[in-house]
Amino acid sequence: MSTPTTSGAAGGTAEASRAAWTPSEHEVERRAVRRRLRRRGTLVAGVATVVGLGLLVALVVLSPGWQRVQETFLSPYHAREALPSIAQGFLLNVGMFLVAEPLILLLGTLVAVARGTTSPWLTPVRLLAVAYVDLFRGLPTLLVVFLFAFGIPALQLQGVTTSLFWLATAALVLCYGAYVAEVIRAGIDSVHPSQVASARSLALSQSQVMRHVVLPQAGRRVVPPLMNDFVSLQKDTALVASVGVFEALFAAQDYGNYNFNYTPLLVAGLFFVALTIPLARLTDWLGRRVAERERGGR
């Protein structure tokens, strides 16, 4: 036989030829070169980072007002003192975020899908969706929070909550729903028409095409911009401080006003950042996993 490889597609093939194969001298050398190039890259990255960040830190620390800033913004004592009430308040932010996020996703998806419908019966729904997006994207979020928190209780409607927490959450949901609807619509539009054609030709109904073929692909593509909106939402839960809900920012301001020290603001900021960074890494990781599975080795 002229073929030294083992035959068949069975499991034995890979092991047998791997056992028979040892890297040539040339390949060993090439690997060494690759390693060297990688090491050089790591070294450059390290030096560039240290130098770059070092310069930034030096700029701040050597500034004339640094001493003063340190006292008013970086006091460990005031940080410790304010911590419990900020943490307490932050639970409200997290709660509001957790309630609002799924509602926003649902609302945004429904509005986006409604805008893409074609049936003449659904014309009023389409118009409503367009009007909603136009209106709530244009209004400042803070203004909507005010309108909801003070306007709705003033109507004295039977059975409608007067809880500031819920009213403010509703305002955030409506504002962000409009943004998210546009993001999802862009995702839907980005799915190639051939995908819809092949799904329709399998006799899937219009809504099945949307549900099983278009939305899953659109969803994947819009994860980064959606993350943007959700991080922004996390921060905007602090807007409700303006109507007197005792969340993290309000707690920090409250402490600062009594003690003439702004350190609690930084502490509150750290809480927000500590929540968004792990979330961003998680979505990065999820996205990478999907990409690896679908694109395979090629």
Partner 1 sequence: MSTPLLEVRDLRKTYGERVVLDGLDLSVGAHEVVCLIGASGSGKSTLLRCVNLLESVDDGQVLLDGAEITDPRADPRDVRREIGVVFQAYNLFPHLTALDNCTLAPVRVHGVPRAEAVERARGLLDRFGLSAQADVHPDRLSGGQQQRVALVRALCTQPRLLLLDEITAALDPELVGDVLDLVRAEAEAGMTMLIATHEMAFAREVATRVAYLHRGRVLEQGPPAQVLSDPREEATRRFLRRVLPERPPSAPE
Residues that bind partner 1 in the complex, under the rule CB under 8 A? 2-3, 5, 13-14, 17-18, 21, 23-24, 26-27, 30, 33-34, 37, 297
Q: How far is CA 119 from CA 31, 115, 130, 189, in A?
A: 61, 11, 16, 18
CB atoms within 10 A of CB 206: 14
In the complex with partner 1, the residue whose CB is nearer, 25 or 158, is: 25
CB 132 to partner 1: min, Å = 31
Comparing CB distances to partner 1, the nearer of 25 and 119 is 25
At its nearest, how many Å lie between partner 1 and the CB of residue 113? 24
Integer-rounded Cα radius of gyration of the chain: 28
Q: What is the smallest separation between the CB atom of 200 and partner 1, expressed in angstroms?
A: 17
Q: How far is the CB of 14 from partner 1 (least distance, A)?
A: 4
Q: Which CB atom, from 31 or from 80, has the smaller least distance to partner 1?
A: 31
Smallest gap from residue 112 Cβ to partner 1 (A): 23
**Cβ proximity to partner 1, 18 vs 293, nearer residue:** 18
Q: Look at residue 156 and give its three-state secondary structure.
A: coil
Question: Cβ closer to partner 1: 159 or 193?
Answer: 193
Cα 268–Cα 274–Cα 277 angle in degrees, nearest 5? 135
**Pick from 234, 247, 229: which is nearest to 276 by CA?**
234
Side-chain-side CA neighbours of residue 66 (13 Å): 8
